[in-house]
Chain A
Amino acid sequence: MIERFLVWLGETPWSIALLESLWVWPLVESTHVLTLGLFVGTTVMMDLRLLGIAFRKVPITAFTGRLLPWTHIGFIIMTVTGLLLFYSQPLRYYHNLFFRVKVLVLLLAGANVAIFHNGVHRHAAEWDRDASPPRAARIAGAVSLAVWTVVVVTGRLIAYNWFDCDIQPQPAWVNWMAGCPVPLR
């Protein structure tokens, strides 16, 4: 079901044009990579503040109020360019081990953001100027650093076909995780 949709998606004229374009694909990919500096960069600075490692005299609400809009801009650019890159080769990425790990960890990253903003950040006024924020906030910062590191590394490794379905033989767990339809023997 999903596979048939992705095959269809990859055969749409715009998908083929994007993949084969001399300039557009590299420009989209470069925008995706360079926006890391904005999106993950501003996220990392806020994480360091949450951990109480850096910016200890800068209130948390300065970060969540004034720097976060820039993180959001970064997130929108990452999402749009990321979806375009997926659209250029949907089936290949769907069966790419690193892509699958990246998407799973992205979900974890999203859950961490939701837990932080609906949890300890609701009472941010009480610990706004604490050099070392409460435990829940420090955990959110540490989890954020860890998950975004994994997202960046797996994202970069998507480019490599080491575990692709047409490269066989592979260990059974690799074929299972990559969802390879017919593991060759």
Chain B
Amino acid sequence: MIDFFRWCESTPIGRAIADSIWAFPILEAVHLLGLCMLGGALLVVDLRLLGVGLTGQPPARLARYARPWLVASVIVMVLTGVPLFLSEAIKAYYNTAFWVKMCTLPVALTFTFAVRERVARRATEDPGVVGRIVGAVSLALWFTVAAAGRWIGFS
């Protein structure tokens, strides 16, 4: 396993970012901008599922509008996150926060696009108890991903 991480760090992209003064900070800043949009696209729908925020609007409508921005922000996060990882893969290997993030991320993505998407799209009126649970689980999962992601830099 560690050999794979060593290989990641030795890739030309990983080397170029690690050797550059500006590349890592700029990728990080764009990763943060992606986080802003991801947060907004998630919250608009999750708050509504929880029965707050844009009440009076059908959750299905909000989810339909938010979806392209959700997908776009996930793409931005991956396109900036992967190079950031490549530049310090060995450090990441020994970093607990990194593994917490990488274990939670697939769960959050699957839950968002398989479960939450379906529940939100069907909810034309009040989403009820199921909606509340789905909204809360979604926020909890993504909060864990974001918090663990931030903590990679501290440990």
Q: Are B147 and A152 in contact (CB under 8 A)?
A: no
Q: B25 contacts A156, CB within 8 Å?
A: yes
Given contacts A54-B65, A66-B56, are A43 and B40 in contact (CB under 8 A)? yes
In the bound assembly, the distance between CA atoms of A44 and B39 in angstroms comes to 10
Given A33-B32, A55-B62, A157–B25 Cβ distance below 8 Å?
yes
Given known A36-B36, A55-B65, contact A41–B43 (CB-CB < 8 A): yes
- The 0/1 profile, CB within 8 Å of A marked 1, for residues 107-126 of chain B is 00000000000000000000
Interface residues on B, range: 35 or more
What residues of chain B lie closer than 8 Å to A38, measured between beta carbons?
39, 43
Interface residues of A in 46-88 (CB under 8 A from B): 48, 54-58, 62-63, 66-67, 70
Contact B29 A156 (CB under 8 A): yes
For chain B, residues 34 to 49, give those with C-beta under 8 angstroms from any C-beta of chain A. Answer: 35-44, 47
> Can you name the residue of chain A whose Cβ is closest to the Cβ of B56?
A62
Which label, helix, strand, loop or mixed, suits the secondary structure of the B interface? helix
- The interface residues of chain B lying within 8 Å CB-to-CB of A30 are 147, 150-151, 154
Q: Which residues of A contact B32 (CB under 8 A)?
A: 33, 36, 152-153, 156
Asked if A42 is at the interface (CB within 8 A of a chain B CB), the reply is yes
Shortest Cβ distance from B72 into chain A, in angstroms?
A: 11
In the complex, the chain B residue whose C-beta lies closest to that of A25 is B154
Residue of A nearest to B57 (CB): A58
Contact of A36 among B25, B28, B35 (CB under 8 A): B35
B4 at the interface (CB under 8 A from A): no
Would you call A58 and B29 a contact (CB within 8 A)? no
Name which residue of chain B comes closest to A42, CB basis.
Answer: B40
B35 cross-chain contacts in A, Cβ below 8 A: 33, 36-37
Provide the residues of chain B in CB contact with A26, threshold 8 Å: 151, 154
- Interchain CA distance A42-B69 in the complex, whole Å: 12
Residues of chain A with a CB closer than 8 A to B37's CB: 41, 44
Given A37-B38, A38-B43, A67-B54, check contact A54 B69 (CB 8 Å).
Answer: yes
Residue among A29, A40, A43 having the largest count of chain B Cβ atoms under 10 Å: A40
Set of chain A residues within 8 Å of B54, measured between Cβ atoms:
58, 62-63, 66-67
8 residue pairs bridging A and B, Cβ less than 8 Å apart: A33-B150, A45-B40, A45-B41, A48-B69, A58-B57, A152-B32, A152-B36, A153-B33
What are the 7 tightest A-B residue pairs by CB atom distance, in nearest-first order? A37-B39, A41-B40, A41-B39, A40-B36, A45-B40, A153-B29, A156-B29
- 7 more A-B contacts (CB under 8 A) besides A36-B39, A45-B41, A153-B29? A29-B150, A34-B150, A37-B43, A37-B146, A44-B37, A45-B66, A57-B61
